[in-house]
Amino acid sequence: MNSENWTSRNYDQADAYISEHEEETQTRAVIDCGGGVHALLPKGLPALKMRFPGLFMIAPLPLLMACVIFLPLSGFLGEWEVNSTTLSISFFCLVMLAGLMRVILAVLNNRDMFPRKYFVTLGPEGLAMHFSRIHFLSGHPRAAMAWSEVDTVQRTSIFFFPALMLGRPSVPALQVNSKQGQPVLIPLNSRQPEREKDFESMETLIRENRNR
pLDDT in tens, 40-50: 999 888 776 66
Q: Report residue 52's pLDDT band, with 50, 70 and 90 as the boundaries.
A: low
- Identity of residue 19: S
Weakest-pLDDT range from 132-136, 162-166, 172-176, 206-210: 162-166
Are 105 and 146 in contact by the 8 Å Cβ rule? The answer is: no
Per domain, the residue ranges of the chain are 3-49+115-210, 52-108
Residue 54: pLDDT above 70? no
Tens-place pLDDT, residues 80-115? 787 888 888 889 888 888 888 787 777 767 666 677
- Whole-number mean pLDDT of the chain? 86
Q: How many Cβ atoms sit within 10 Å of the Cβ of residue 26?
A: 8
Higher pLDDT, 161 or 125: 125
Q: Give 42's DSSP letter.
A: -
Contact criterion met (CB below 8 Å) for 145 and 160: no
- Checking if the pLDDT of 18 tops 70, the result is yes
First to last CA, the chain: 17
Q: Which of 75-84, 93-102, 172-181, 185-194 has the lowest mean pLDDT?
A: 75-84
| CATH 3.40.50.410 is held by the domain 3-49+115-210 | no
The share of the chain scoring above pLDDT 90, in percent, equals 42
| Burial grade of 42 (CB within 10 A; 0-12, 13-18, 19 or more) | buried
Q: What is the pTM of this model?
A: 0.75
The pLDDT value recorded for residue 1 is 46
Question: 165, 177, 171, 167: which is closest to 198 by C-alpha?
Answer: 171
Using a pLDDT cut of 70, give the percent of the chain over it: 89
Query: What number is the average pLDDT over the span 151-180?
Result: 90
Q: Looking at the predicted structure, is the pLDDT value of residue 14 above 90?
A: yes
